[in-house]
Structure 1
């Protein structure tokens, strides 16, 4: 009996912690092997980021295995348990499960896989990506490894120019007086640990520059040359990494030394220091399209007519949205709202209106999918809705018409209470009401 229980427990552990074993042709990836296996590889990779509890991921598993077997020796098929290895998921902006990325010529900028989820569709998508990669190599547009020819970095890991060389002369100006958040490595050229960190630091610098648009920077100080800086910050061993945020005391970096670990910490710093996203009223096509195109998800609310709520009621709804935008600012989603009836094509394409107002939907413009808020339009209700979406639990539907709806150009709300239309006065002085009554009789 005890033996049987042990077997069942072992099986349960395997089920919870991973879908793939050493006997599968799917290569399990993690922060320890990702850089060497993928980023330094000349191969084309299709990589699934999954969570063991995700039902869609469970259904994908047999097809992912079949595709891996069919593509063995041609295209590499990998899988990352992003629930366990959150640093890798964060590094590549994984917001839902399963997410499939194509790592081709430029390993620092993988493409989203947009094909079907059957084994046949996966194989076809992989071969299409492979043909494109080979065509680019023939035309000389790629360096043939995980980096461009212009990168100048080693091991296909990034561009050395993205690591800012910091000195006694420029440190205060760039780091202490700048608006960016800095991660600074203090190193010694003879230090073996520093040499091993260098390619990881370089790769992370390029990734962080791209993903934060320069708001978080990675720098390096040769502490044997700039001993004044090393002394000022109490550097005793190498490499030492410190975090500098404007107006705050420097903080010791205690995380891992892989590219994934460094990028994950940088993204946390970026999110913590970023202002909440703006909440825009949908008044024309440009605002709607740019917000939804630039964000993985755009959260759209349709609020009651101003005559139904007045300014105070509308502002209370907008305040709830602003609080949620602040709470979820790390996701870098877009936030929009419209008045009921002002954007009828939008309401129709999202199925809004059947549940009354206010209503809310989350739109994925890349996949032309949306999900509707079924709970209350409150901090609790919206939090539960967005939390489920962020971990891949929300139900979705296709946007009506298969394209983003046409947006009407309307005047922006002036922040005031609504006014009823002025009724036209009718002059009845020339009308003999008695005669009208006689005619009717």
Structure 2
């Protein structure tokens, strides 16, 4: 019995070490079971940290987060989500690294990302600024409604919110079956209690999924008591029934959870499964860099050796490695860029790349102006390890030189060929008068 007892005690001790917050703190512990009640249905402003217990940056933040929570007690709510344990909540709000801090203000469905420093004073200042903005909006008459509940039609049957598409016997084939997009379709009955419970979750998920997939995954709803041709065609026997439709394939039964986080997570998986890998783009000018990086959490940039050093075959080998990594990490929806050594010297200088030789790689968060450098090999294994560490918040980062993006020069695109050495001019020395002294010395 003693070894068993020691094992149990060891687990308890381990758990107590990993816990960043306790009930005695003023930080509210948030989970999928209480998040909707505490945050989404609250009139208060909330600051919510999404963290992982093993994350070093999260552990460093914890004392300041607790201090800020105490200072803001009764003014602004401060919470924390163990997003390593509750992945559905993290996925719902696009959390890709730790710690991530979100501000849930007037529109709880569209939280803002906190961009300030991680000290208690900066957190309090950020909270107060957000609170002033919230009060100002209320004074001006802005409602800030979250708008995630499906509206009721005059007939009493459930219609759809703005992002849940109402599907019928007449429009289903054209809207869903002939679409290139992926569809999650709920078959419901207005009198069904489970369907009513699903309503706000389905509508909230519809808005988030539409935004995060740029409309490539959509959520629809069919009143199966009215549109019985559809419900019969797809063998609907109970409510709610959810099916997944992809063009040219048989519909698939949805097997996931019924919270908005579960629905969003499954929708994003469907999106990434069907989406092509991101394009690998050469940095030709400033617009290319901006368009690729601004909409991505991370931008992965490779600086490849000069074409005279590798030839076309060598360069294509490096590009092939990057393309494979872009495919592997396509769910992250990062940007992928490359440039030739020496073409963008200001960028190389800002990243401190010169000391590591070529090829080199950096991952940049352009919103926070932070970057990390690949220290391992420029190979599938080395890059995978580098990006995997970054994706879970373990990578070592630094601030981009000057806190702004460096100047990007316009360059000609690579033509795909081997490099050519510059042609040297031939000089005719027959007409050149040699110095007499030089001639004598030579003689």
What is the rounded CA distance, in whole Å, between the counterparts of 1:93 and 1:199 in structure 2? Answer: 19
SS of equivalent residue, structure 1 residue 225: coil
Show the counterpart of 2:300: 299
> Is the aligned partner of 1:14 residue 2:16?
yes
Counterparts in 2 of 1:241-256, with a 5 A limit? Answer: 241-256=242-257
Show the counterpart of 1:261: 262
What is the rounded CA distance, in whole Å, between the counterparts of 1:23 and 1:435 in structure 2? Answer: 97
Judge conservation of contact 1:180–1:216 (CA < 8 Å) in 2. yes
> Is the aligned partner of 1:53 residue 2:54?
yes
Show the counterpart of 1:231: 232
Counterparts in 2 of 1:23-34, with a 5 A limit? Answer: 23-34=24-35
Q: Deviation of residue 21 (structure 1)?
A: 2.6
Q: What number of residue pairs does the alignment pair up?
A: 433
Evaluate the alpha carbon distance shift between residue 53 and residue 66 of structure 1 in structure 2; reply closer, same or farther with a 3 A threshold.
Answer: same
Q: Deviation of residue 437 (structure 1)?
A: 5.4
Aligned residues: CA RMSD: 2.0
| 1:217-265 deviation digits (Å, cap 9, x = unpaired) | 0001111111111111111110000011112211111111111111111
Q: Deviation of residue 153 (structure 1)?
A: 4.9
| 1:168-207 deviation digits (Å, cap 9, x = unpaired) | 1111111111011000001111111111111111111111
Judge conservation of contact 2:92–2:260 (CA < 8 Å) in 1. no
What is the rounded CA distance, in whole Å, between the counterparts of 1:313 and 1:5 in structure 2? Answer: 54
SS of equivalent residue, structure 2 residue 356: coil
Between stretches 366-375 and 285-294, larger displacement belongs to: 285-294
Judge conservation of contact 2:245–2:251 (CA < 8 Å) in 1. yes
| 1:238-294 deviation digits (Å, cap 9, x = unpaired) | 000001111221111111111111111111111111111111111111111222222
TM-score by length of 1: 0.94
| 1:60-117 deviation digits (Å, cap 9, x = unpaired) | 1122112112212211111111111111111211111111011111212211111222
Judge conservation of contact 2:149–2:203 (CA < 8 Å) in 1. no
Show the counterpart of 1:143: 143
Runs of 4+ in 1 over 3 A off after TM superposition: 1-9, 144-147, 151-155, 431-437
Q: Deviation of residue 20 (structure 1)?
A: 2.1
What is the rounded CA distance, in whole Å, between the counterparts of 1:166 and 1:362 in structure 2? Answer: 43
Q: Deviation of residue 8 (structure 1)?
A: 4.8
Judge conservation of contact 1:42–1:146 (CA < 8 Å) in 2. no
Judge conservation of contact 2:149–2:199 (CA < 8 Å) in 1. no
What is the rounded CA distance, in whole Å, between the counterparts of 1:439 and 1:428 in structure 2? Answer: 18
Evaluate the alpha carbon distance shift between residue 70 and residue 431 of structure 1 in structure 2; reply closer, same or farther with a 3 A threshold.
Answer: closer
Show the counterpart of 2:360: 359
Counterparts in 2 of 1:34-113, with a 5 A limit? Answer: 34-113=35-114
What is the rounded CA distance, in whole Å, between the counterparts of 2:104 and 2:51 in structure 1? Answer: 16
Evaluate the alpha carbon distance shift between residue 239 and residue 172 of structure 1 in structure 2; reply closer, same or farther with a 3 A threshold.
Answer: same
